[in-house]
Amino acid sequence: MKFATIGHLLDENTLRQLPASWIQHDFIISPELDVYGTKGHLSGILITAKAMMTQPRSAVRQKILDAALFLQNEYAVDVVQLGALTTSVTNGGKWLTDQHQYNGYVNHGDSYTAAVTCQTVRKVLSMVHRDPADLTLAIVGAYGIIGEAVSKLIVPQFSHSILIGRDQSKFDKLEKSLTGNFETTVKLVTQNADVVVTATSHPTALLGSEHLKKNAIVVDVSQPVNLAIDVCRARPDVCRVDGGLVDFPVPIPIPGMPPGKNFACIAEVIMQALKEEKQHHVGSIELDHLHLTEAWGIEYGFLLNELTNFGTPIFQ
């Protein structure tokens, strides 16, 4: 199977970081990659994160479909991975699977991202010698695709959890699937949380210094990020960790990515292609598949090793 990603520009500066040869028509597409013998491309649409969330949904979806068809028809791609907000605007990828012109498979890549997020929380707490049973957790974007799976897996381990989202009615399904001591809210109340996980579709940073407890740990999965670098500089007591990144044994050329690292979501679609698994992975995450991606990660070496903050190692 041949793979491709479909991402978008984080902001207006992103385009300037890309090689000019990557721009084809209305799309971004890299030269062909070879990962353990399976071939593929990094690709995307020429829309910023802000525009993704403010332009008419139908227009944005059409651009995503056009990209998928371009990859299918011109590059013989079998499976596409929806990156960042392309998942959000396609109903977790479900919309794309319903478009009869596209014949391939769709994977949002969030299963392995959620798995790695949980690994990151456990790893950073282990490194600072703190027990989650003594701590308060906040998950921003808790009923989203990643947030839902992360909530199911780690909320039971914490003393108390604050699950945060914009629509209270969307918590009903999540609440029924959880165990542990938790509350839900539409307010950004993270000030008392020892650990904050952010997994939102917000196009700009959400968390300011006033939202963070002294010595808080923030696992920031969101792209664009939810905790900006200037807040980290102003609050050196806060430990921000890049979420959703794993070690890549094979170099993948993404501008600005720390050497040897890449997104877990990209690893997932590559591993699916390597496994020749002809299935969609869209919408809510199936925990059995999430655990399977962890096994794949071990097999192929796409692992969480060194923790970083904006690409800089945290514990040296």
Instruction: Name the residue with tokens 């500066």.
Output: 13
Cβ atoms of 125 and 195 within 8 Å: the answer is yes
Nearest to 162 by CA among 144, 125, 135: 135
| 305 within a domain of the structure (yes/no) | no
Predicted pLDDT at 204 = 83
> Do 240 and 250 belong together in one domain?
no
Domain count, the chain: 2
Cβ atoms of 80 and 71 within 8 Å: the answer is yes
Predicted pLDDT at 224 = 85
Cα angle 308-116-242, degrees, rounded to a multiple of 5: 25
Cα of 215 vs its chain's centroid, Å:
24
> Do 177 and 57 belong together in one domain?
no
Cα 299 to Cα 292: distance, rounded to the nearest angstrom? 11
Nearest to 67 by CA among 85, 57, 80: 80
| 310 within a domain of the structure (yes/no) | no
| 169 within a domain of the structure (yes/no) | yes
Q: What is residue 155's three-state secondary structure?
A: helix
Range of the domain at 52: 3-110+246-300
What DSSP character marks residue 55? S
Beta-bridge mates of residue 174: none
| 35 within a domain of the structure (yes/no) | yes
Cβ atoms of 210 and 234 within 8 Å: the answer is no
> Do 121 and 202 belong together in one domain?
yes
> Do 214 and 234 belong together in one domain?
yes
Of 244, 271, 287, the position where a domain reaches its end is 244
Q: List per-residue pLDDT tens for the chain, 316 residues long.
A: 999 999 999 887 888 888 889 998 889 999 999 999 999 999 999 999 899 989 999 999 999 999 999 999 999 999 999 998 999 999 999 999 999 999 999 999 999 999 999 999 999 999 999 999 999 999 999 999 999 999 999 999 999 999 999 999 999 999 999 999 999 999 999 999 999 999 998 888 999 999 999 999 999 999 889 999 999 999 999 999 999 999 998 888 787 788 889 999 999 999 999 999 999 999 999 999 999 999 999 999 999 999 999 989 997 5
Radius of gyration of the chain measured on its C-alpha atoms: 19
Q: What is residue 218's three-state secondary structure?
A: strand
What is the residue type of 310?
Answer: F
Q: What is residue 229's three-state secondary structure?
A: helix
> Do 127 and 202 belong together in one domain?
yes
Predicted pLDDT at 122 = 98
Predicted pLDDT at 11 = 82
Q: Does the pTM of the predicted model rise above 0.75?
A: yes
> Do 160 and 283 belong together in one domain?
no
Predicted pLDDT at 259 = 82
> Do 141 and 168 belong together in one domain?
yes
| 316 within a domain of the structure (yes/no) | no
Nearest to 302 by CA among 268, 258, 255: 268
Please give the C-alpha separations between residue 105 and each of 39, 66, 101, 186, 243, in angstroms, as whole numbers. Answer: 15, 15, 12, 34, 26
> Do 118 and 233 belong together in one domain?
yes
Cα 83 to Cα 116: distance, rounded to the nearest angstrom? 16
Cis peptide before 224 (omega within 30 of 0): yes
Nearest to 47 by CA among 81, 14, 4: 14
| 287 within a domain of the structure (yes/no) | yes
Cβ atoms of 314 and 258 within 8 Å: the answer is no
> Do 34 and 117 belong together in one domain?
no
> Do 236 and 271 belong together in one domain?
no
Cα 221 to Cα 171: distance, rounded to the nearest angstrom? 20
CATH of the domain at 210: 3.40.50.720
Q: What is residue 261's three-state secondary structure?
A: strand
Query: Which secondary structure element, helix H or strand E, spans residue 86, and what is its range?
Result: helix 85-88
